[in-house]
Amino acid sequence: MAHLHTRLSEEAEAWIATGVDSFSRWQEYAAGFGRATYIVAALGFFAVVILELHNSRKRRLSKLPPGPFQWPYLGSLPNLLLTVGVTSSFRLREKVSELGRNHGPLMFLQIADTQILIVSSGTAAKEVLIARDEEFNFRPQCAVGKYLGFGSSDIAFAEGRHHWYLRKLCDTRLFSADSFVSYGHIPRAEALKMLHSVWEASKKGNGISVRETVTAFVRNSLCGMLLGSAHLDIENVSLQFTEKTLITLLDETICVVGEITLSDLAPGLKRVDFHGRTRKLKELHERWEKYLRVILEDRSHRLEKSAKPEALVDVLLSLDDADMKLSNEAIMGVLLDTLVGGVYSTSATIEWALAELVRHPGVLEKVQLEMSEVVGPYHIVEDAEISQLPYFQATVKETLRLHPVVPMSLPHMNKVATSISRYQIPANTSVVIDYKAIARDPAAWHKPLRFDPSRFLHTSAASQIDNIFKFLPFGYGRRGCPGANFAAVLLQLALAHLIQAFDWAPTKGQLPHDIDVKESPGLVCFRFSPLVLSSTPRLANSLYQVSP
């Protein structure tokens, strides 16, 4: 036994000795490894410092605007990816905006072979959009323009003379005040239909899905004016399109367009189809083309029977001056731009306005009081009365300021090298104007995050002009929104009807401040979750009936 015990302790001692031995070897190894790590870290640190010194010297010499740290070839791409993650491409736009706010009114980003200038102050935007509008009104070539812009023949991606001509058409024939005189009965009828549907739902005590309701109003109004009220007759034609076809096309398009991928930021990576986006764009192009061709054929047949235009598409189809004739591709591009560019931006703004009014019951009460005084309870508000409602108008402006639903411009581009203030801007720089940062700039607005329509009341003519570059919800200049007038009319029409005809409140169990203002990412900035509210009719039942 004693022998066994001695052997065991000898073995244990040997084992302990080996352990101690390997532990000390491990310690040596770890110390060696630690030293190596320190050396690598120190070398890395020095490399970063040298690169940063090199970068800032390069910037100083080339007089580029300030910007984040740049790695060789990749530029600031790793910085963005580390903070945003490769998969959440939607968040890239937000991250770029955040970086811009940290670097001042002009920030220069180099991402692989792409140069981007972020403009985030009213003064800098004024220089790009007024003084340098001619230089910066180009668009970088991209897959969205190629597929959804029908080979960049639409409004948003066209350039040069073709773009100039399309914009002239928008101003004089498509989205002019005269067009609204001819086709304004369509949104007015749609507004009454919307009141009827909300009234029906509130009688049943149902919550109202504001987004669904107002998107249907804007979509039907724009489609009616653009494609004619009979556009859904194509359901009877062989291709069997339904209203759902258009809704699905619009929903899918806004989703794909809102996604920025690495290939957008770095054309060198164009061959890689991140998230299968190019495939989706190609497929959407084919579906839109099929849909819009049927409409064009249908309208052309109708025009042969009666030469009188009954919709804006007829205006496009009947341009007879040889110089002015548009190809079918260009017409389809204009229709797609108007539907995709108009429907969501306008409906998202209406939804934001109602969300803010319910969060601020005092403001809602004030708007309703003004309406009761000017319009009264015996008829539904009319167009002419809307211009006599200053507090209501101020509420719409404040919504556009606080919630610019197109938070960043589509990229503008300069084809030749130029300069802005004291900085040099190389040729082919993508210039993105951060409209949201401008509208919420604390240097321009007192308590910028507060919803306060009174900031737009009693403003002198001078401060109204001054305000133009303090908030630019529709952009400005050659690339500014051509549908701004239409959008303003639709916004005011829908909101005036909804506010006069109903009291709005959070649904049961919620308080006004439970209605949050979290934003969705993407090209159009919606409220994150669709707004559901409770509505109570304020007028006599007979006013909610729609004549067939």
- Using CB under 6 A as the binding rule, whether residue 473 contacts ligand HEM is answered as yes
Q: Tell me the residue number closest to ligand HEM, measured at CB.
A: 483
3-state secondary structure of 139: coil
Residue pair 359/518 in contact by the 8 Å Cβ criterion:
no
- Using CB under 6 A as the binding rule, whether residue 480 contacts ligand HEM is answered as yes
C-beta closer to ligand HEM: residue 433 or 501:
433
C-beta closer to ligand HEM: residue 77 or 295:
295
C-beta closer to ligand HEM: residue 390 or 480:
480
Residue 86's identity, in one-letter code, is: V
Find the binder of ligand HEM among 250, 389, 402, 481 (CB under 6 A). 481
- Using CB under 6 A as the binding rule, whether residue 474 contacts ligand HEM is answered as yes
* SS3 track for 375-424: CCCCCCCCHHHHCCCHHHHHHHHHHHHHCCCCCECCCEECCCCEEECCEE
433 forms beta bridges with 119
| Whole-number Cα distances in Å, 38 to 26, 48, 71, 147, 258 | 18, 15, 22, 51, 44
User: Nearest Cα to 527, choosing from 365, 379, 347, 378?
Assistant: 347
Q: Closest approach of Cβ 226 to ligand HEM, in Å?
A: 8
- Fill in the DSSP letter of residue 174: I
- Using CB under 6 A as the binding rule, whether residue 215 contacts ligand HEM is answered as no
For ligand HEM, the binding residues in 334-393 under the rule CB under 6 A are 337-338, 341-342, 345-346, 349
Residues 6+ apart with CB under 8 A from 277: 143, 256, 259, 261, 263
* Phi, psi torsion values for 378, nearest 5 degrees: -100, -10
Q: Closest approach of Cβ 262 to ligand HEM, in Å?
A: 22
- Using CB under 6 A as the binding rule, whether residue 426 contacts ligand HEM is answered as no
C-beta closer to ligand HEM: residue 144 or 381:
144
- Using CB under 6 A as the binding rule, whether residue 152 contacts ligand HEM is answered as no
Find the binder of ligand HEM among 360, 479, 497, 527 (CB under 6 A). 479
Q: Closest approach of Cβ 292 to ligand HEM, in Å?
A: 15
* SS3 track for 239-271: CCCCHHHHHHHHHHHHHHHHCCCHHHHCHHHCC
- Using CB under 6 A as the binding rule, whether residue 445 contacts ligand HEM is answered as no
Residue in the block written with tokens 């952009």:
475
3-state secondary structure of 208: strand
User: Nearest Cα to 477, choosing from 116, 138, 97?
Assistant: 138
Find the binder of ligand HEM among 148, 375, 406, 425 (CB under 6 A). 406
Q: Closest approach of Cβ 243 to ligand HEM, in Å?
A: 19
- Which two tokens mark 266? 């770095």
Residue 142 annotated as binding site: no
Find the binder of ligand HEM among 64, 118, 144, 156 (CB under 6 A). 156
Residues in contact with ligand HEM by CB under 6 A are 155-156, 175, 337-338, 341-342, 345-346, 349, 405-406, 409-410, 433, 435, 473-475, 479-483, 486-487, 491
Binding-site residues from annotation for heme: 481
